[in-house]
């Protein structure tokens, strides 16, 4: 009996020793709470344990559920740059120090959002002057999985020359503009993943239920079936052996060898394109944290499916908003930049998947509330998919937030196509200039327009500005134009801007079938 009692006592002591209050990485020292709204604070403890959270004059309590998770909601407070402490007591106690209150934004997308400060133009000056202790940074590691994750490895850090170099350049420059303009602390959550596809950021079960994504999910399941088969493993082994042989032969002959090694089947299964992978591994551990909104730079990986993207992208945004339970929070994105070789043939130039992806991005502005697009058709680099000028990109995004969310009066929206009238061999194009007017940049001649007749054969066109929001467009080889396009190519030569310095949004007047529309 004594042995049994001792065993029970030791088991109880061991359980007590294991009992511990745990917090996710997103809840920690140096964090920024979103001002003027409820802020959830959560963690885990022994089921049934009462947890008390104290912040200023607020004290909130919650009981850990059967899975150990507990959540309290702090009442809204105004911005505060004075470091504060949050005390949390459960089966053990923790203190979160140096906590500020201000504006919190998610910085998401693929490589052009991931692209860090250390790799952009003027990196040396930007890093050396990044002394902003009231801007706080946290990055989420890249984990691709079908299994929902509760947490990640990371921590909030003060922005400094020592911490900013590896952080998202667009994110940092965006946050810096807000910090300077609003004079409040700013928290930035970087979760971008280079090369990621939009569908990887969405809950898989939702994609499977929506008939618009039937082809996407059929292809996904077929891919999964093959990549988990013995045939895929054998193919990888054979391809690797052949690659190694070519590498050895190149070495013996003294020739350079830059061919990439074959990718293993697991690289896609745990990567950034499989539907749901990034949602589960990267996004989910942050969902629920108090934010103001999100900025997004992605689309390159979906360009070949631009038609689908017109539905998929707003679907993703709505999914995030539903999951966050913060209503229709602001969501601003970057339209694809100009990239790849310039094409002199009008027919070839207009056959562009990237142009179609840009159109799908533009359409999203009318598909969702509280969204907006930063046009950067002038900031790309033909020979680099990662243009290094991220400061201008971020400032165009910031204009949207400063006007729509913070009540400032600034130019913020690029001119957009409104209508086209065809008569007397010309297209009379009207743009919505949002209170501004049109002008050219670099040269006086307007560049970037094409027109076509009933035969749908495109020809370069001449254009001239005939009003603050109107242009006349015509081509000698097209007697009766029926459609007009502007900046409709991978890397268009175009120079039409608003007088406020914002480039005109690429557009088309026609509704001809898209190249990227799946063939039935």
Whole domain around residue 218: which residue ranges?
209-273
pTM: 0.95
The token pair at 407 is 């009540």
- Residue 125 belongs to some domain of the structure: no
What is the per-residue pLDDT across 6-30, written as a single tens digit (0 to 9) for each?
544 444 334 444 569 999 999 999 9
Strands 293-297 and 331-334, how do they pair?
A: parallel
- Residue 229 belongs to some domain of the structure: yes
What is the number of structural domains in the chain?
A: 2
The token pair at 351 is 């056959």
- Residue 287 belongs to some domain of the structure: no
pLDDT at 17: 43
Of 218, 247, 273, the residue that ends a domain is 273
pLDDT at 18: 57
Report the alpha-carbon distance of residue 491 to residue 114 in Å, rounded. 22
Beta-carbon contacts of residue 208 (< 8 Å; ≥ 6 apart): 217
Quickly tell me which residue has 């006086």 as its tokens. Answer: 444
Report the alpha-carbon distance of residue 503 to residue 439 in Å, rounded. 10
Strand (E) positions, 301-387?
331-334, 371-374
pLDDT at 44 over 70: yes
- Residue 246 belongs to some domain of the structure: yes
Report the alpha-carbon distance of residue 63 to residue 51 in Å, rounded. 6
pLDDT at 421 over 60: yes
Instruction: Report the residue count for the chain.
Output: 520
Farthest-apart Cα atoms in the chain, separation: 106
Report the alpha-carbon distance of residue 390 to residue 393 in Å, rounded. 5
Q: Please compute the mean of the pLDDT values over residues 228-233 and round it to a whole number.
A: 96
The sign of the CA dihedral 398, 402, 408, 409 is positive
The token pair at 374 is 């930063």
Q: How far apart are the first and last CA of the chain?
A: 77
- Residue 298 belongs to some domain of the structure: no
Q: Is 353 left (phi over 0), alpha (psi -120 to 50) or beta?
A: alpha
- Residue 405 belongs to some domain of the structure: no
The burial of 57, by beta-carbon neighbours within 10 Å (0-12 exposed, 13-18 middle, 19 or more buried), is given as exposed
What is the pLDDT of the chain when averaged over all its residues?
Answer: 96
Backbone angles phi, psi at 444, to 5 degrees: -75, -30
- Residue 187 belongs to some domain of the structure: no
pLDDT at 395 over 60: yes
Q: What percent of the chain has pLDDT over 90?
A: 96
pLDDT at 15: 40
What is the per-residue pLDDT across 46-71, written as a single tens digit (0 to 9) for each?
999 999 999 999 999 999 999 999 99
Report the alpha-carbon distance of residue 104 to residue 81 in Å, rounded. 14
Smallest CA-to-CA distance from 52 within 99, 19, 93 is with: 93
The token pair at 226 is 């093959």
Quickly tell me which residue has 């459960």 as its tokens. Answer: 90
What is the per-residue pLDDT across 459-509, written as a single tens digit (0 to 9) for each?
999 999 999 999 999 999 999 999 999 999 999 999 999 999 999 999 999
Report the alpha-carbon distance of residue 206 to residue 209 in Å, rounded. 5
Q: Which residue has the higher pLDDT, 89 or 8?
A: 89
pLDDT at 505: 98
pLDDT at 519: 87
pLDDT at 38: 98
Of 219, 250, 273, the residue that ends a domain is 273
User: With DSSP H G I counted as helix, E B as strand and the rest as coil, what are the percentages for the chain, rounded to 5?
Assistant: 35, 25, 40
Beta-carbon contacts of residue 350 (< 8 Å; ≥ 6 apart): 450, 458, 485, 488, 489
pLDDT at 9: 46
What is the per-residue pLDDT across 135-165, written as a single tens digit (0 to 9) for each?
999 999 999 999 999 999 999 999 999 999 9
- Residue 461 belongs to some domain of the structure: yes
pLDDT at 247: 95
Of 273, 292, 310, the residue that ends a domain is 273
Band (243; pLDDT cuts 50, 70, 90): very high
């Amino acid at each position: 009996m004594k042995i049994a009692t001792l065993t029970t006592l030791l088991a109880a002591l061991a359980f007590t020793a294991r009992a511990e209050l745990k917090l996710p990485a997103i809840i920690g020292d140096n964090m920024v709470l979103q001002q003027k709204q409820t802020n959830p604070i959560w963690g885990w403890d022994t089921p049934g344990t009462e947890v008390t959270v104290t912040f200023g004059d607020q004290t909130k309590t919650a009981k850990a559920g059967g899975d150990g998770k507990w959540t309290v909601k702090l009442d809204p407070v105004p911005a505060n740059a004075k470091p504060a402490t949050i005390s949390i007591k459960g089966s053990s106690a923790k203190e979160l120090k140096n906590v500020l209150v201000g504006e919190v934004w998610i910085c998401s997308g693929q490589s052009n959002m991931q692209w860090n400060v250390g790799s952009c133009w003027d990196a040396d000056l930007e890093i050396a002057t990044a002394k902003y202790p009231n801007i706080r940074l946290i990055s989420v590691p890249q984990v691709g999985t079908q299994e929902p994750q509760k947490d990640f490895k990371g921590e909030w850090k003060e922005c400094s020359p020592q911490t900013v170099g590896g952080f998202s350049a667009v994110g940092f420059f965006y946050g810096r503009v807000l910090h300077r303009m609003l004079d409040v602390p700013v928290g930035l959550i970087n979760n971008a993943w280079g090369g990621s596809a939009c569908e990887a950021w969405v809950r898989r079960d939702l994609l499977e239920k929506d008939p618009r994504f039937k082809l996407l999910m059929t292809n996904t399941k077929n891919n999964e079936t093959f990549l988990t088969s013995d045939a895929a493993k054998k193919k990888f082994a054979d391809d690797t052996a052949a690659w190694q042989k070519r590498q050895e032969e190149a070495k013996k002959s003294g020739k350079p060898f830059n061919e990439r090694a074959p990718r293993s089947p697991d690289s896609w299964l745990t990567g950034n394109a499989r539907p749901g992978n990034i949602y589960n591994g990267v996004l989910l551990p942050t969902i629920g944290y108090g934010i103001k909104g999100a900025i997004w730079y992605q689309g390159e990986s979906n360009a070949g499916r631009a038609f689908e993207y017109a539905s998929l992208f707003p679907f993703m945004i709505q999914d995030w908003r539903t999951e966050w339970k913060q209503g229709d929070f602001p969501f601003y994105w970057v339209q694809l930049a100009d990239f790849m070789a310039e094409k002199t043939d009008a027919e070839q130039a207009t056959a562009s998947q990237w142009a179609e992806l840009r159109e799908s991005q533009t359409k999203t502005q009318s598909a969702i509330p509280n969204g907006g697009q930063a046009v950067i058709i002038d900031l790309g680099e033909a020979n680099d998919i990662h243009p290094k000028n991220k400061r201008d990109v971020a400032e165009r995004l910031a204009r949207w937030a400063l006007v729509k969310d913070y009540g400032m009066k600034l130019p913020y929206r690029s001119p957009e196509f409104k209508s086209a009238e065809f008569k007397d061999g010309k297209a009379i194009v009207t743009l919505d200039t949002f209170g501004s007017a049109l002008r050219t940049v670099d040269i006086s001649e307007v560049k970037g327009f094409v027109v076509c007749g009933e035969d749908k054969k495109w020809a370069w066109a001449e254009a001239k500005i005939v009003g603050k929001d109107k242009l006349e467009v015509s081509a000698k080889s097209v007697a009766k134009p029926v459609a007009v396009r502007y900046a409709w190519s991978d890397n268009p030569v175009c120079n039409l801007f608003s007088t406020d310095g914002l480039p005109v949004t690429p557009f088309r007047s026609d509704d001809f079938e898209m190249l990227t529309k799946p063939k039935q």
